[in-house]
Amino acid sequence: MFAADLVRKISLPISIEFIRVQSYGNRTESSGVAVISTELQIDIIDKHVLVIEDIIDTGTTLSRLVSYLKEKGAASVSVCALLDKVLRRKIPLQLPPGSRFYRGFECPDDFVVGYGMDFAEEYRNLPYIGLLKPAKYSAVSD
């Protein structure tokens, strides 16, 4: 939802590509391994890429995606994140020269859902961001 709302406000000509990268699955903790399950369909060689993220947590997924985009030849890889859980970061964000980082809000270490963010593929459709009660996810084993 964040990406859709954001791109509607961009008045420049752009190409939009969706890449699925995940390190959570149905868990509440990152597995520590980010898997890219969708390859790029457009050429990004010498192009300036903007990654739109709903939330940055440990940095595992974003770090893998930035590396992947650099490998594919992007001139720059900037990141725009709605929420950033700085206190949970395990991998520091390292962007290539000429790239920028845009953060909407720094987020406390709570499990958030809604506005495109899910827990086990649920709650993604909520039109707002809310905190998930621990009782909802405490039974899920890591």
Task: Catalytic residue, from 57, 84, 109, 118: name it.
Answer: 57
57 is catalytic: yes
Q: Are the C-beta atoms of 99 and 76 separated by less than 8 Å?
A: yes
Residues 6 or more apart from 108 whose CB is under 8 A from it? 85, 87
**Cα–Cα distances in Å, from 73 out to 48, 63, 95?**
10, 16, 14
Strands 35-36 and 21-22: antiparallel
What DSSP string runs through 9-71?
Answer: T--S--------EES-TT-SS--S--EE-S---S--TT-EEEEEEEEESSSHHHHHHHHHHHH
Q: Catalytic residue numbers? A: 57
